Structure 1
């Protein structure tokens, strides 16, 4: 499943034909935070192996972006038992412990929010971006005048 991680943007391995700076470290950190080790990649950079082969995780999403990917918070090793379709309150704690929050806090991804970003998500990720290491940090990015890649959200509860 392909996800768009909500509230952040990370350097990409193949952006307009080239790898952006720090794309590989960001990818490797995402894979580690998701719970995988010993990851191997094929010639086209697709994953060919990892340990373990599968990791339980929760994707908390309330909408789908224009390319068909759920815009989600990714929770790896989530201690709460959840079922498909459960309503999950999006709290500051949940945002901070998400893979999204960890990537933002470390500087591996930068904050990207839109007009449609709920206030709790906007404030939490902006705070994470403000308090992370300045070595690799980029300032929080708001795009109020640009077209949102997502449809507007009506509340802060994801399903």
Structure 2
């Protein structure tokens, strides 16, 4: 992965449990992030980090239609966000009604990113570290990320706390994926009081009566939430056509027992009436990078 040193800043932004703003010491290193997509930068050279291998409950999801929607804020969404900014070193965080940070101490904190690429939205996909780069590493170096180094990142910390879900893409090295999957299973078994696993219904089954069911009451894997939120806003709450909707998106993924990729998330979904569930735990699934 590409190592980049810089600073994190949350003032005037809306950080959530898996996205935070980062400004490299030398913004020129954004050009070295691998892949065909380019990092979107602001006037100061900063960009958004989409944290690799994890997915936090949504605090402000745009999707289709007017306005934004969120997942249950008091059942894990705010807990992941607050833990991330605290882990990075921010205190005294004040937010307005739109969840934009209006005050934080200090204004920036030093840290680094280990990046595997950029997503379709121009965000840097990476592992989030605090403080200095590992000894002997400089910005622009290509780093072989070991499990020990992974365990020093916010990505690993949030997953171990059970505050986020694992969500693996094919670009993530297998040795790291195996460790993170084990961490996720341990967190699920522990079901800490503030963890998403305390309320998660992804594989047990969630009865979806309307949009409010998933925005205010039910805790689901964020990827499933986003697909459901868009579907309900487009077609209404009846789930009869939800598998066809997923098939139309054509996302590809791998499961352990099959060598070739499977096309369409409908193969992971079971619907009974208005109850939806995923048939496999998310840590067994590897999504194909687009």
- The TM-score normalised by the length of structure 1 is 0.82
Aligned to 2:90: 36
Q: Which residue does the alignment assign to 1:7? A: 53
Match of 2:163 among 91, 96, 108: 108
> What's the counterpart of residue 100 of structure 2?
46
**Which stretch of the first structure deviates more once superposed, 103-112 or 126-135?**
126-135
Question: Superposed, which structure 2 residues align to 1:4-153 within 5 Å?
Answer: 4-15=50-61, 17-21=68-72, 22-78=76-132, 80=134, 82-132=137-187, 133-135=190-192, 136=195, 137=197, 139-144=281-286, 148=288, 150-151=289-290
Q: Residues 67, 57 of structure 1: CA spacing in aligned structure 2 closer, same or farther, 3 A cutoff? A: same
> Cα offset for 1:96?
1.3
- List alignment gaps of at least 5 residues for structure 2: 1-46, 63-67, 201-280
1:70–1:142 CA distance, 2 compared to 1 (3 A):
farther
CA distance in 2, matches of 1:24, 1:14: 11
After the TM superposition, list the runs of 4 or more consecutive aligned residues in structure 1 that deviate by more than 4 angstroms: none
CA contact 2:184–2:283 (8 Å) conserved in 1: no
What SS does the corresponding residue of 1:50 show, helix, strand or coil?
strand
SS at match of 1:71: strand
Q: 1:15 to 1:142 in 2, by over 3 A?
A: farther
Query: What secondary structure is seen at the aligned counterpart in 2 of 1:88?
Result: coil
In structure 1, the partner of 2:247 is none
Distance between the aligned counterparts of 2:172 and 2:116, measured in 1? 11
What secondary structure, in the 3-state scheme, does the structure 2 residue paired with 1:11 have? coil
Let me know the Cα RMSD of the aligned residues: 2.0
For the pair shown, the structure with the greater C-alpha radius of gyration is 2
Distance 1:20 1:142 in 2: 23
| Aligned-partner Cα distance in 2 for 1:127–1:89 | 21
